């Protein structure tokens, strides 16, 4: 057992998070030349891949749906840290960063991750099969959270602009936390069976049956490495964020594109894990990752950012514009029609990916 753990430590997935943390300590708070930015970006990508590996080890140990929940919460921590850090540095120019990043996360998870998962699962086995009860509950939670946190501020009148007043913001934060807590309780305790993988043959899988789960020591090691990898991702992303912002400005893109870049970065681990699960005929696990991340992104980010406004300077803009509300409405309608049958073909995956493509096009050229 000790020899096995030692070999795990010496693999690249064990060494890279440690090296990334050292690199973070050496580069933190410094202006980096282009060559060093490229090096940091490579280690950033490596830390993301290492995070995926260690999250999958933990998921294999604890089983579904707890594994998906762990990765969703971990990724949301990255998102919150990046948003708050950039809002502290950016002042009023980043007033809409939380909205842009959260909405980008919703579109990427509900259309990108879900679409890719359905496409990969159905192409490999003709039809992707999942549990409509659990998936529908997740989609309903996402819809309610997005409506309360991102749509409602556009139509309130107490505060000028698409913003909540302080009492309204407190309500939105408490509602988001309550709904997230109810979703987690439903997913992990009361109706856990709704979120278990279903094979294309209709078999419910309560555990990974293709390999023995890792030992407790290996799972604890992966938990520590996951924490290091996530810290490295947040820190290194913060280090290269000035380059990202200047690149977005130099390309003539709107400031909201920064939120898209952040969301694409932090959701990369879940996207990779979801596609892998779909290839193994675990489409429900993929949907748990995608929709669970959307729930966590709104349910945890909005309360965290709301709390951060106590010391942050400048307004917090949460309300979406008209075009984004149309995309959100289409996502909800299409998602509902996809979930109801509990089975999907490549067409449904393609429709979701088309909505994601439309969002990216409008983010680049509003």
Confidence band (pLDDT; 50, 70, 90) for 317?
confident
> Counting every residue, how long is the chain?
366
Q: Which two tokens stand for residue 61?
A: 């140990």
What pLDDT is stored for residue 348 in this prediction?
Answer: 94
Q: pTM of the entire structure?
A: 0.81
Burial of 345 (0-12, 13-18, 19+ CB in 10 A): middle
Is residue 65 reached through a cis peptide bond, with omega within 30 degrees of 0 on the bond before it? yes
- Tell whether the model's pLDDT for residue 171 goes beyond 90: yes
Nearest residue to 111 via CA among 263, 323, 241 = 263
Residue 154 has pLDDT above 60, yes or no: yes
Residue pLDDT, tens place only, 56-92: 788 777 765 676 677 667 777 777 777 776 666 655 6
Please determine, looking at this structure, whether the domain spanning 2-364 carries the CATH number 1.10.10.10: no
pLDDT value, residue 10 = 53
Question: Mean pLDDT highest for which of 235-239, 327-331, 339-343?
Answer: 327-331
Residues 6+ apart with CB under 8 A from 326: none
For residue 125, the model assigns a pLDDT of 82
Alpha-carbon distances, residue 347 vs 127, 173, 276, 313, 356 (angstroms): 10, 37, 20, 46, 14
Helix axes 97-107, 256-266, angle to 10 degrees: 50
**Kind plus residue range of the DSSP H or E element containing 343:** strand 343-344
Banded pLDDT at 3 (limits 50, 70, 90): very low
Percent of the chain exceeding pLDDT 90 equals 25
Q: What is the mean pLDDT of residues 315-321?
A: 86
CA 77 to chain centre: 9
pLDDT, tens digit (0-9, with 9 covering 90-100), for 227-249: 888 788 778 877 877 777 777 77
Q: What is the per-residue pLDDT for 335? A: 95
Q: How far is CA 90 from the centre of its chain?
A: 23
Structure tokens at 131: 């549990």
pLDDT score of 5: 47
Measured N-to-C along each axis, helices 34-62 and 216-250 cross at an angle, to the nearest 10 degrees, of 140
139 in Cβ contact with 184 (< 8 Å)? no
What confidence tens digit (pLDDT) does each residue in 252-307 have? 777 777 778 778 877 877 788 889 888 888 888 889 888 988 898 888 888 888 88
| C-alpha count within 13 angstroms, C-beta hemisphere, residue 164 | 21
Q: pLDDT band at residue 204, thresholds of 50, 70 and 90? A: low
Instruction: Provide the 8-state DSSP code for 109.
Output: I
b (16+ CB within 10 A) / e for 165-200: eeebbeebbebbbebbeebbebbbeeebebbbbbeb
The predicted pLDDT at position 137 comes to: 93
Q: Report the pLDDT value the prediction gives residue 161, as an integer from 0 to 100.
A: 77
Counting Cα atoms < 13 Å in the Cβ hemisphere of 251 gives: 15
Helices 2-10 and 216-250: crossing angle in degrees, nearest 10, is: 10
- pLDDT for residue 201: 59
* Contact by Cβ (8 Å): 271, 75: no
What per-residue confidence (pLDDT) applies to 247?
74
Which sequence spans correspond to the domains of the chain? 2-364
Taking the C-alpha atoms of residue 324 and residue 359, their distance in angstroms, rounded to an integer, is 8
pLDDT at position 36: 84
Mean pLDDT, the chain, whole residue set: 82
pLDDT in tens, 104-132: 989 999 999 999 999 999 987 888 889 89
The CA R_g of the chain, rounded to the nearest whole Å, is 20
Residue 336, pLDDT > 70, answer yes
Identify the band that residue 158 occupies on the pLDDT scale cut at 50, 70 and 90. Answer: confident
Q: Which of 48, 54, 42, 40 is nearest to 11 (CA)?
A: 54
């Amino acid at each position: 057992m000790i020899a096995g753990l030692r070999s795990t430590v010496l693999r690249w997935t064990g060494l890279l998070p440690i090296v990334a943390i050292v690199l973070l300590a050496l580069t933190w708070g410094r202006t980096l030349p282009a060559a060093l930015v490229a090096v940091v970006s490579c280690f950033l990508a490596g830390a993301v891949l290492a995070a995926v590996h260690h999250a999958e080890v933990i998921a294999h140990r604890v089983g579904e749906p707890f594994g998906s929940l762990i990765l969703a919460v971990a990724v949301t921590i990255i998102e919150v840290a990046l948003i708050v850090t950039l809002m502290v540095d950016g002042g009023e120019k980043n007033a809409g960063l939380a909205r842009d990043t959260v909405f980008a996360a919703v579109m990427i998870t509900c259309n990108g991750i879900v679409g890719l998962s359905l496409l990969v699962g159905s192409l490999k086995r003709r039809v992707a099969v999942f549990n409509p009860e659990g998936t529908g509950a997740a989609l309903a939670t996402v819809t309610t959270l997005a409506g309360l946190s991102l749509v409602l501020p556009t139509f309130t009148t107490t505060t000028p602009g698409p913003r909540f007043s302080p009492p309204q913001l407190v309500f939105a934060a408490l509602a988001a936390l309550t709904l997230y807590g109810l979703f987690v309780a439903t997913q992990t305790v009361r109706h856990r069976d709704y979120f278990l993988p279903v094979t294309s043959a209709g078999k419910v899988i309560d555990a990974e049956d293709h390999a023995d789960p890792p030992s407790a020591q290996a799972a604890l090691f992966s938990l520590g490495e996951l924490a290091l990898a996530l810290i490295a991702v947040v820190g290194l992303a913060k280090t290269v964020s000035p380059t990202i912002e200047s690149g977005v400005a130099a390309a003539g893109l709107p400031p909201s594109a920064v939120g898209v870049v952040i969301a694409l970065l932090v959701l990369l681990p879940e996207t990779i894990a979801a596609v892998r699960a779909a290839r193994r005929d675990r489409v429900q696990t993929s949907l748990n990752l995608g929709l669970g991340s959307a729930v966590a992104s709104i349910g945890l980010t909005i309360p965290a950012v709301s709390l951060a406004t106590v010391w942050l300077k400048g307004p917090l803009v949460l309300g979406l514009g008209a075009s984004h509300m149309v995309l959100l409405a289409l996502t909800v309608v299409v998602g509902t029609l996809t979930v109801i049958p509990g089975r999907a073909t490549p067409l449904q995956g393609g429709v979701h990916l088309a909505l994601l493509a439309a969002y990216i096009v409008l983010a680049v050229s509003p």
